Structure 1
Amino acid sequence: MEDWLVMAFDSTQQALRAEMLLEYAEVEIDLCPTPKEITAGCALSIQFPQQFLTVVKDVVAREQVEIRGIYMRRETGEYDNISL
């Protein structure tokens, strides 16, 4: 999945809440295991296409979803945190 970003969470409750809100906002998402390279308190993450970043940030801010961060995977397999 080229150009997809990963949003990580500290709780399963917030991950499932974000899933519902983003589906309602018609963002293409995929619930997935949190990559081991990302330290987070929750085993679930949400992947989404980079083109939806602005919409995702807006939903997270407006609905006060608690997230660990949004990450972009580098070619090396490591993840960079994208500042909100």
Structure 2
Amino acid sequence: MLLMAFDSTQQAIRAEMLLDYAEIENDICPTPKEVTAGCALSLQFPREDYERVKEIVAEEKIEIRGIYFKKDNEYVTMEA
């Protein structure tokens, strides 16, 4: 699973709605303390949907802090 972090709750909820509409599995979750973000909510989604999620973020102008994956108990940025 990948993690998308946000600077605002509004953007997190908007992204959740858009991913649901695109039928992309996603779960809203607390932002891990290891990830610096302005919002306490993040979205998890399957790695195989990464390219489609990037397209939706760009097309819909969703403001994100970044997309992360977990490696050795640490979150690494995939995309900002």
TM, length-normalised to structure 2:
0.97
* 2:3 is equivalent to residue 6 of structure 1: yes
CA RMSD after TM alignment? 0.8
- Report what 1:28 is aligned to: 25
Cα separation, 2, equivalents of 1:10 and 1:65 = 10
Aligned-partner SS, 1:68: strand
Residue segments in structure 2 that go unaligned for 5+ positions in a row: none
Identity %: 62
1:21-59: CA deviations, max 9, x gaps?
000000000000001100000000000010000110000
Question: 2:77 aligned with 1:81, yes or no?
Answer: yes
The equivalent residue for 1:39 is 36
> How many residues were matched structurally?
80
Q: Name the one with the larger strand percent.
A: 2
Code of the residue aligned with 2:70 in structure 1: it is: R
Q: TM-score, normalised by structure 1?
A: 0.92
Secondary structure of the equivalent of 1:70? Answer: strand
SS at match of 2:64: coil
Structure 1: distance between partners of 2:79 and 2:2: 13
Matched letter for residue 39 of structure 2: C
Distance across 1 between alignment mates of 2:39 and 2:24: 21
- CA distance in structure 2 between the partners assigned to 1:62 and 1:13 by the alignment: 17
Where in structure 1 are there 5+ consecutive unaligned residues? none
